[in-house]
Amino acid sequence: MLYTEIPTQRPVTPLLDGIDHPQQLRQLEQSQLAQVADELRQYILYAAGQSGGHFGANLGVIELTVALHYCFNTPQDRLVWDVGHQAYPHKVLTGRRERITTIRTKDGLAAFPAREESEFDTFGVGHSSTAISAGLGMALARRYQQDPCDVVAIVGDGAMTAGMAFEAMNDAVAHDADLIVVLNDNDMSISCSTGGFAKHLAAIWETGQFINLNEHGEAYVQPHPKWTYNSRLHQSATNAADNLFKAIGFDYFGPFDGHDVEQLAQVFQALKKRKGPRLVHIYTKKGKGFAPAEADPITYHAITKISPTATTTPTKKSGPKYSDVFGQWLCDQAAQDERLLAITPAMCEGSGMVQFAKQYPERFFDVAIAEQHAVTLAAGMACEGLKPVVAIYSTFLQRGYDQLIHDVALQNLDVTFGIDRAGLVGEDGPTHAGAYDYAYMRTVPNMVIMAPKDENECRQMLHTAYHYNGPTAVRYPRGVGTGAEIQQQMTALDIGKAEIVAEFNVDAEQQISILAFGSRVAASIEAAEQCANKHAIGVRVVNMRFVKPLDEQMIRELAESTQLFVTVEEHAVMAGAGSAVNEFLAHARILKPMLNLGLPDEFLHQATHQQMLQDCGLDSNGILASIEQAWFS
124 is in an annotated binding site: no
236 is in an annotated binding site: no
Could you tell me which of 426, 399, 424, 417 has the C-alpha nearest to residue 129? 399
Q: How far apart are CA 135 and CA 513, in angstroms?
A: 51
Q: What is the residue-wise DSSP string for 346-413?
A: S-TTTTT-HHHHHH-GGGEEE--S-HHHHHHHHHHHHHTT-EEEEEEEHHHHGGGHHHIIIIIITTT-
The 10 Å Cβ neighbour count of residue 479 is 15
286 is catalytic: yes
Q: How many degrees, rounded to 5, is the angle at CA 173 between CA 167 and CA 177?
A: 110
Catalytic one among 63, 349, 371, 427? 371
150 is in an annotated binding site: no
Q: Where are the beta strands (DSSP E) in 59-178?
A: 78-81, 151-156
243 is in an annotated binding site: no
Q: How far apart are CA 50 and CA 76, in angstroms?
A: 32
Contact 570, 518 (CB under 8 A): yes
41 is catalytic: no
Q: What is the largest distance, in Å, between two alpha-carbon atoms of the chain? A: 88
Crossing angle for the helix pair 33-51 and 261-271, nearest 10 degrees?
Answer: 110
Q: How far apart are CA 345 and CA 163, in angstroms?
A: 12
Could you tell me which of 114, 533, 499, 41 has the C-alpha nearest to residue 289? 41
73 is in an annotated binding site: no
Whats the size of the chain, residue-wise?
Answer: 633
446 is in an annotated binding site: no
Cis amide linkage into residue 471, ω under 30° from 0: no
Q: How far apart are CA 95 and CA 303, in angstroms?
A: 24
Q: How far apart are CA 452 and CA 433, in angstroms?
A: 18
Q: Are strands 219-223 and 209-213 parallel, antiparallel or unpaired?
A: antiparallel
224 is in an annotated binding site: no
Q: How many degrees, rounded to 5, is the angle at CA 434 between CA 322 and CA 326?
A: 20
Catalytic one among 96, 286, 288, 478? 286
The 10 Å Cβ neighbour count of residue 249 is 14
Q: How far apart are CA 509 and CA 283, in angstroms?
A: 71
159 is in an annotated binding site: yes
The 10 Å Cβ neighbour count of residue 611 is 16
Q: What is the residue-wise DSSP string for 282-351?
A: EE--TTTTBHHHHH-TTGGGEE----TTS-SSPP--SS-BHHHHHHHHHHHHHHH-TTEEEEESS-TTTT
Q: What are the beta bridge partners of residue 512?
A: 539, 564
199 is catalytic: no
Q: How far apart are CA 448 and CA 440, in angstroms?
A: 12
54 is in an annotated binding site: no
Contacts of 29 (CB under 8 A, 6+ apart): none
38 is in an annotated binding site: no
Annotated binding site for Mg(2+), which residues? 157, 186
- Give the residue numbers annotated as catalytic, written as ranges: 286, 371, 399
Annotated binding site, which residues? 85, 126-128, 157-159, 186, 290, 371
Annotated binding site for thiamine diphosphate, which residues? 85, 126-128, 158-159, 186, 290, 371
